[in-house]
Amino acid sequence: MSTSNDNHGQHTPGIKPEDVGKVAVLMGGLSKEREISLLSGGAVLDALNASGVDAHGIDVGADVMTQLEQGDYDRAFIILHGRGGEDGEIQRQLEAIDLPYTGSGVTGSAQTMDKLKTKQLWQALNLPTPAYAVLNSEDDCVKALETPGLPLIIKPVNEGSSLGMSKVNSAEELPEAWRMASTFDDTVIAERWIDGAEYTAAILGRDVLPLIRLETPREFYDYEAKYSADSTRYRCPCGLDTVVEAELQALALKAFDCTGASGWGRVDFMLDEEQNPWLIEVNTVPGMTDHSLVPMAAKAAGLSFEDLVLRILQSSFEQKLNKESA
């Protein structure tokens, strides 16, 4: 398997399906990414069952904690995208009933869900991320035209799957883009547009899987490009020099670790025309559909989809051990 560097940690031993116990696959939920979560959750559930794990799907609603307690589950596989799943909320509830779960904890989830807080942290650590401005009014839009300046990518701070995002090329487009993004979240950022190639680094335990280069004829890698467009192309191997790829994998792991994220996830970044990297965001519960990036990277690293979900499930054991040793 391709890793970022041997000194980032050794491969952890695999778990045996018979040692896992009863697993709740938490999917669906109430976020705007519900339908993608159901697809991801269905794929995960099928793979776990095919591997011999006693796994059961739960479409998360207001009664989820009651279902979990009455169902006598041993651990939870979180495949809830967006709010309620990646923001620390479900993690907080699971910790309250002492049920081990996959992926990042409360703090890491909350930190990475908030694109603004993540960028501020990266800036404080001198990690490269595009300049930005916070938009709360049309006056802020005017200021953003000066710093960071056009072109811009407008983003709601607490949404995933590129929901509410748009590229702005002119001053006239900015107020409407801000208003549209603000229907998804109270806080919106205008980020400097980076001309260049987009990449993603999937992280599994302490391993950074082979990088994927994303190519789309659309203006950017938006919701349609991610989930439905047949025109999106995924390059893995990504085409970078081996040494450069290893350096970028190390940067991605550092960007992931500093946010408190753990277990598994994905770091998205750009390379500008001078080949300088720019960190964009961290996803702590990435998609697991047939269009999704983590399964592609895992396949390139020699892992089947079933192997991948078992490795992710293993993080629920490590999360419990970390909690006990704290």
Catalytic residue annotation: 33, 161, 227, 266, 268, 281, 283, 287
The residues that bridge with 269 in the sheet, in sequence order, are 199, 279
- Tell how far CA 120 is from the center of its chain: 18
d(CA 316, CA 23): 10
Residue 13: count other Cβ atoms within 10 Å of its Cβ.
7
Burial readout 307-321 (b: 16 or more C-beta within 10 A, e: otherwise)? bbbbbbbbbbbebee
d(CA 96, CA 84): 15
- Tell how far CA 293 is from the center of its chain: 10
Residue 201 parent element (H or E):
strand 196-204
Residue 50 parent element (H or E):
helix 34-50
Q: CA 295, 298, 304 angle in degrees (round to 5)?
A: 80
- Tell how far CA 75 is from the center of its chain: 21
d(CA 251, CA 201): 10
Q: CA 192, 194, 200 angle in degrees (round to 5)?
A: 115
CA-based nearest residue to 228, from 283, 162, 285, 168: 162
d(CA 160, CA 166): 13
d(CA 159, CA 177): 15
Is the separation of the CB atoms in 91 and 106 below 8 Å? yes
Q: Is the dihedral of CA 89, 267, 32, 116 positive or negative?
A: positive
